């Protein structure tokens, strides 16, 4: 019978212990896993800080792996595209995410370009920016950026208020020019 255990020693070391009982006695195997546990702990802390940092951003951020799976996202991304939390937390494929996004903005060329960016060979990927005027009145500025490890970063920023202010200023300026011409 084989038994596994983890020992935490008073000097700070951690050991992974395997005890294997056979017909002639017991064999013990000790493995020092102190460094491995420390690395896992630092990695988990780093991932947690990264997630919390992303969640403070107002911009929607999504990182897709080269296989097309959603690797990382923030809550703003899910909110902007009204995505089901169960969907985005399950590492969905970019096609599944886009199927949900198309409910709010259905322009095939835009989504084809996004899929190509996420799944293309690394050497063929080029960053791009675009702007979405969704039927619900929301205006989004987006960017797709290739990352050095083969991942793709997608960023969506809601610029609806800025566009409304810009349009109001243009209309006011046109009205002033028309009034000036009447004089």
DSSP bridge pairs for 2: 20
Residue given tokens 């500025």 in the structure block: 141
The helix/strand count (H/E) of the chain reads as: 6, 8
Tens of pLDDT along the chain (183 residues)? 789 999 999 999 999 999 998 888 899 999 999 999 999 999 989 888 888 888 888 999 999 999 999 999 999 999 999 999 889 989 999 999 999 999 999 999 999 999 999 988 767 788 999 999 999 999 999 999 999 888 999 999 999 988 888 888 888 888 888 888 887
Using CA atoms, how far residue 11 sits from 14, 15, 166, in Å, is: 9, 11, 65
Cross-strand partners of 19: 3, 28
Q: How far apart are CA 96 and CA 79, in angstroms?
A: 16
Asked whether 93 and 69 are in contact (CB, 8 A), the reply is: yes
What strands, in cross-sheet order, belong to the sheet with 2-8?
Answer: 2-8, 14-22, 25-32
Concatenating the DSSP letter of every residue in 84-96 gives -HHHHHT--BHHH
Contacts of 142 (CB under 8 A, 6+ apart): 129, 130, 131, 132, 154, 155, 156, 157
Question: What pLDDT shows up at residue 166?
Answer: 81
Q: Provide the 10 A C-beta neighbour count for residue 169.
A: 10
Residue 35, phi then psi, degrees to nearest 5: -65, -40
Query: Each residue of 80-117: b (16+ CB within 10 Å) or e?
Result: bbebeeeebeeebbbebbbebbeebbeeeeebeebbeb
What distance in Å separates the CA atoms of residue 156 and residue 98, rounded to the nearest whole number?
14
State the DSSP code for 19: E
């Amino acid at each position: 019978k084989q038994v596994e255990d983890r020992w935490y020693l008073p000097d700070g070391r951690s050991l992974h212990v395997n005890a294997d009982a056979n017909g002639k006695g017991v064999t013990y195997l000790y493995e020092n896993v102190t460094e491995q546990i420390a690395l896992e702990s630092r990695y988990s802390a780093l991932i947690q800080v990264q997630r919390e940092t992303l969640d403070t951003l107002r911009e929607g951020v999504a990182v897709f792996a080269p296989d097309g799976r959603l690797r990382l996202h923030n809550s703003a991304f899910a909110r902007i595209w009204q995505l089901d939390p169960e969907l985005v937390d399950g590492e969905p494929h970019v096609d599944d995410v886009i199927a949900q996004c198309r409910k709010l903005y259905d322009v095939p060329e835009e989504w084809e370009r996004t899929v190509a960016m996420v799944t293309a060979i690394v050497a063929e990927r080029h960053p791009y920016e675009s702007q979405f005027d969704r039927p619900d009145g929301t205006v989004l500025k987006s960017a797709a950026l290739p990352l050095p490890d083969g991942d793709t970063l997608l960023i969506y920023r809601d610029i609806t208020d800025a566009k409304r202010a810009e349009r109001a200023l243009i209309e006011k300026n046109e009205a002033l020019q028309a009034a000036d011409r009447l004089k």
